Structure 1
Amino acid sequence: MMRLCLFLLLSSMAFAQSTGSFHQDHTFNTSDFNNLNRRFSFYVPATYQASQNHTLILALPGCGVAPNDFRDDLRNIADSLDAIVACLDAGGNAITDEYGGREVKLLEYLYDSVQAHYSIDSNAVYLTGFSCNGREAMRVVLEELTTVPFAGVIPYSGAFNHPNFNPPSFARSQVSPVCLCMGTRDYFYTQLPYYHDLIDSLQARQAQFHEILMPNVGHTTVHPRFDEYMLDCFEYLSNTTTIGLREDSGQEAPFQYRRQGEKEVWVYSNSPGKARAKILSLDGKMLFDVLFQDEQSFSLPQKGIYFLQLSNTQGQQYEVKLAL
């Protein structure tokens, strides 16, 4: 009932089909959010077309950072990706700290509201956060604290120093791809062990992640290559796909694949023993039939449409269409 009430409240926003930068202030009067005041900041590119589905970036500003400032940091990214940005005000704090963590639910209401007013590609919904909420973005996705179907997460200069941040507890490190951006002059990189512990944990779990170390960058989004690094992350996330996602959070997805460049595909198996990968042309011609363990790369003859068939010794079989 609470989600429905808040959704109806957000649905009354007067931003339907607006473009450019704008924000909405709201007071939530439910028992869980007693008179909670929050600002939602949006950016919709001028190129937005209701007839097309668009990427959605849900963004969490750092502690003490205004949501409209972090939204503005992402405007060039949104223009490049033809994406919508929706930035949540966490009250100047880490999102899971407020109201016993219930404020995480506001991400769901924000997602529902944007989806109600705009044409969103539900397979291209991403979460990013800066500083304290870079860390919390990791928790939200990998500890399954929300039902929003995130296709990936970008913790930007994450402040990985919180006692509740425990990488080994992540439930779905194999499911949601991660791209980490960290400056080599960032205090959380140079002085504290937690970021390095996180990398070790992701590697130990063979998680699908990409690390971008930003030379000579401190704890900030204000530097000349911010757009470049963020776009690199979105390219990585958009080319990384999980196959055979199971509903029970204790299990990892059996397969993943990733497009690399124009004609190369990498396939990953998360199951014990050998797996089999077949790639067929659009007319059904067998191009590859390979047994592999852990990972395998394929160089395709040309750009086009292909079928990827995957199976393992557990009897799981999947087929996906590749568009290169």
Structure 2
Amino acid sequence: MSQGSSQRLHRVVVIVDENSNPFELGCATEVFGLRRPEIGRELYDFRLCSPRPRTVMRDGFFTLTGVEGLAAAEEADTLIVPNRPDVEVPRRAAVLRAIRAAHARGARLVGFCSGAFTLAEAGVLDGRRATAHWQWSAAFRARFPSVRLETDVLFVDDGDILTAAGSAAALDLGLYIVRRDHGAEIANAVSRRLVFAAGRDGGQRQFVERPVPKTADESLEPVLAWIRERLDGPLTIAAMAAHASVSPATLHRRFQAQLGTTPLRWLTAERVAYACRFLELGEASVDTVARRSGLGTAANLRTLMRRETGLTPTRYRRRFLRKPRET
């Protein structure tokens, strides 16, 4: 998603409605709304709006006042829709009209958790891919059979409509959007500010089984750190397993249990992210980037970058090249 015209920042607007969840509102504010002095520039113009002057949040925890009216949604480049636990209660007609109008003029729509219900009720998800919290999957399918619901992923990017599963996945999707808008280096800076890992893939499972470990050394963190220091060299599953002092089959089971993915897929994602950083810092040679990131050839780099980011290396560099700060 482009930043729009050079005259203003990309505007992210969150609609807050009665009984909205505070956590997802906090996620949106943390990712899109805070000043970023460590980056040296603002990333978004962030606004909150509500159909009423006073909005009672979930379970009456607090009342939100002093935000803009629903007209603010008319100027959103990205519109984050309301989500709440009472998924069977119809949304306000004015909110649904605002969502449909934003979609019609080409704004990006985002739903966190039960926000998928809001999008579906507005009629913008018919025939589209989406996800929602696993506990509501049966209810969602019963009400909106025309939506292609994916129940075992963290988030879904369906182009101009993005949806995230349960609460923590809102952070995953938010950081993914930052990366899509501003590149891997900026997304990593935001994740460091949040003290939150930026690398969870949208295709990972919502519910990752985490059995109580029998021994303290079953954590993957030591081997992940070891791998990250060697991304530019040859790495095999056997070598990773040997470093972790386990068999390849055991390593595979631990990746699935702790990260919800396979060792090879995780390694590939790390290498693509590493390649993105080289491109953002101005490395001109695609062959050099492929070699330094451990992806081998330029052809392999192009294939994997298209799969992971939707962009070729050249287009990625052109879009996200970090310009020196003016002194």
- Which TM-score applies when normalising by structure 2? 0.34
Structure scoring higher RCO (CA < 8 A, sep ≥ 6) equals 2
> Whose helix fraction is larger, Structure 1's or Structure 2's?
2
More strand per residue: 1
Under a length normalisation based on structure 1, what TM-score does the superposition of the two structures give? 0.35
